[in-house]
Amino acid sequence: MARLGDEPRCGKCKEPLFTGRPIALSDHTFDRHLTRSEIPLVVDFWAEWCAPCRMMAPFFEQAAAELEPRIRFAKINTDENPALSQRYQISSIPTTAVFKGGREVARQPGAMNLPQLLQWTKSNV
Residues 108/95, Cβ–Cβ less than 8 Å: yes
- Examine the pLDDT at 6 and tell me if it is beyond 70: no
pLDDT range class, residue 20, cuts 50, 70, 90: confident
> How far apart, in Å, are the Cα atoms of 60 and each of 6, 22, 80?
24, 8, 19
Question: Is 13 tagged catalytic?
Answer: no
pLDDT range class, residue 8, cuts 50, 70, 90: low
CA 12 and chain centroid, separation: 23
pLDDT range class, residue 12, cuts 50, 70, 90: low
pTM, entire model:
0.86
Q: What percent of the chain has pLDDT over 70?
A: 85
Q: For 50-86, how does the pLDDT look when each residue is reduced to its tens digit (9 = 90+)?
A: 999 999 999 999 999 999 888 999 999 999 999 999 9
Of 53, 90, 97, 117, the active-site residue reads 53
In 3-state terms, what secondary structure has residue 111?
coil
Helix axes 114-124, 51-67, angle to 10 degrees: 60
Of 25, 39, 50, 71, the active-site residue reads 50
Burial class (CB in 10 A: 0-12, 13-18, 19+), 85: buried
Q: Which domains are present in the chain? A: 16-124 (3.40.30.10)
Number of residues that this document lists for the chain: 125
